[in-house]
Amino acid sequence: MKHSVDEAFGRQVQQIISGEVFFNEPMNRHASLGVGGNADVFACPENEREVVGLVGFLVDRDIPFYPVGNCTNLVVRDGGYRGVLISLRRLQGLEMRTDSTEEILLYAEAGVSLARLTEFTLRESLAGLEFCAGIPGTLGGALRMNAGAWGSEMKNIVSSVHLLAPGRKIEEIPRSRLSFSYRNLDLPRGGVITAALLALRRGRRESIKTRVEEIMAEREKRHPLTFRSAGSVFKNPAGTPAGRLIEETGLKGLRVGDAVVSEQHGNFIVNTGAARAHDILALIEIVRRTVKEQRGIELKTEIVIIGDEQ
């Protein structure tokens, strides 16, 4: 890093960002798992203009940065993140843009939560987004992760994405130029999604409501929602869901410190108290090794792991 993240740097960032800027910020305060070391800076721009200003400023100074949303799929190692975590959670624009066909286009900024989107689409009787009910992230994070459930995924409802790549202006990228795969959208290094257009259909409010309620009830039954977690830890390999493999290998209930493989769902690791990132990561390694030894299957993590070892 050519420039250090010192006080003078902090003051400059505060000139660009009117929203919250935290220094030496413990990420266990933000991550849904409740673990994570300190980020040098955790900045929450208020709008696209501030995102563009901040990214330009950091690129010019060669300071590392990384976009985040609600940190519901993220583990920052206990040594923390050297550089600036840019949370898009304050970008909250949301409006309908209808075109001439049956398809309804919904414009939403990256920080809009999937919960707010689900509520909005229910109120407006728009179908297509029901599968997002109960997923706790932001739209930006959901796009980057190609979040999915119940047989659908973000890829199916995206019309275009507003992308800020370092050294460029914000560009609207149509779906035909977006490369989605299972729980992934390829982005250029340092690429930040600031907004998206979602293509939805007119639906019947009662059937949308019923579907959302069914999904929420299923989630409550299947997922350990009373504990802190980051959702599914591993991607499902072809054939058998990761949760079933973990259960069949007898790993449910396995514990490292306060990190535990959930008794309720094998693919969830929960923080039952004061777990640290290294407890979560140690448990992930044990699960991965055991499943490989017993079933010959290489599990890959779905959750994103960044930052330094302690």
Q: Which residues contribute to the site for ligand FAD (CB under 6 A)?
A: 32, 66-74, 88, 110, 135-138, 140-142, 144-145, 147-149, 192-193, 223, 229-231, 304
How many whole angstroms separate alpha carbon 126 and alpha carbon 133?
Answer: 13
Select 141 or 203, whichever has its Cβ closest to ligand FAD: 141
Is the Cβ–Cβ distance between 308 and 79 less than 8 Å? yes
Q: H/E element holding 195?
A: strand 192-202
Query: How far is residue 80 from each of residues 5, 35, 224, measured CA to CA in Å?
Result: 14, 10, 27
Query: Among residues 184 and 290, whose Cβ is nearest to ligand FAD?
Result: 184
Please state, in angstroms and rounded to a whole number, the distance separating the CA atoms of residues 275 and 256.
8
Residue 83 CB, shortest distance to ligand FAD, in Å, is 13
Three-class SS of residue 48? helix
Nearer to ligand FAD by C-beta: 149 or 173? 149
- Alpha carbon separation from 141 to 98, 109, 122, 147, 173 (Å, rounded): 25, 11, 21, 8, 17
> By C-beta, is 134 or 203 nearer to ligand FAD?
134
Smallest distance, ligand FAD to C-beta of residue 228, A: 8
Helix (H/G/I), strand (E/B), else coil: 260: strand
Catalytic positions, written as ranges:
183, 232, 302
Which token pair is 12? 């400059």
Q: How far is the CB of 151 from ligand FAD (least distance, A)?
A: 11
> How near is the Cβ of 54 to ligand FAD at its closest, in Å?
13
Q: Distance between CA atoms of 293 and 298, rounded to whole angstroms?
A: 9
